[in-house]
Structure 1
């Protein structure tokens, strides 16, 4: 991948527009998470964590507490306290499913899944309709673009973590 200085390299109008739309989606998605937190009567950080647990589990790759901490940008200690709250509230359970009994897997409870599904059924109608009505070739182009953007952001995050651990 070519290294470009984002501050000095010229940007085309459509490139700027794409970046603005990505920002708009990110801001709107955060707002949806705030609504989920209200819907579930949870702090925003807890709703975000619960959403991550539910999505990962639905994807067939349940999270460990450490992987959840990385996804939500919290320390392991803060994530442990958050998980204690979610467990006490009856939203998450910790399981020891692997042969390595030390490895903990996070699972949403049936009640938490059902309530989040009620939220999605109410709040996700426009999003679902938009995805369903988008032609396959457009979705494929978006997927390729977002895969590249995710890889680029992951590379930037990795570089930032390396910089931080090097003492800068």
Structure 2
């Protein structure tokens, strides 16, 4: 059966949007399970992800940047960092060139429990990605990067409107 191009595109956009929603909900369930297993709250989990992402990109995060990213006051971020450090999830490291500057990094215990919990998901994700060519993955990556950028723009606009 012939479908006009706009109709098929609209169907694809709707399907992709539904898939993104389903992925988000399922990812939240997985995150909640990890948090519950390790006595963490939602903000704790967001902080750990931010520390992991920053460390993974080679640009470790400072307490100030973490507070900005999570939209928390300096007092709240200090309490959060203290709690995560006491639980063995993160550690504070001083910058070797400017001793006043603190970087947050995964502690050995935190990294170990995260790897243990998320390793099966990583294997499943790798198996899915193995079914795509490098060119297809590049397109998916470009799409995801732009979707994430769009979401962050919306998040930031909502934060500004709340101020």
Q: Please tell me the TM-score bracket, short chain as reference.
A: 0.7 to 0.9
The number of equivalent residue pairs is 155
Q: How does 1:17-166 map to 2 (within 5 A)?
A: 17-165=15-163
Between 1:126-135 and 1:83-92, the stretch displaced more is 126-135
Gaps of 5+ in 1: 1-10
Instruction: Describe the superposition over 1:65-111 as per-residue Cα deviations: whole angstroms up to 9, x where unpaired.
Output: 12222333433322221111111112211122153333211011112
Instruction: Describe the superposition over 1:111-159 as per-residue Cα deviations: whole angstroms up to 9, x where unpaired.
Output: 2111211112234321221123322222111111112222222333343
- Separation in 1, partners of 2:145, 2:45: 25
Between 1:43-52 and 1:140-149, the stretch displaced more is 43-52
Compared with structure 1, are the counterparts of its residues 117 and 93 closer, same or farther at alpha carbon in structure 2 (3 Å cutoff)?
Answer: same
TM-score, scaled to structure 1: 0.78
TM-score, scaled to structure 2: 0.81
Between 1:103-112 and 1:145-154, the stretch displaced more is 145-154
- Give the root-mean-square deviation of aligned CA atoms: 2.2
Gaps of 5+ in 2: 1-8
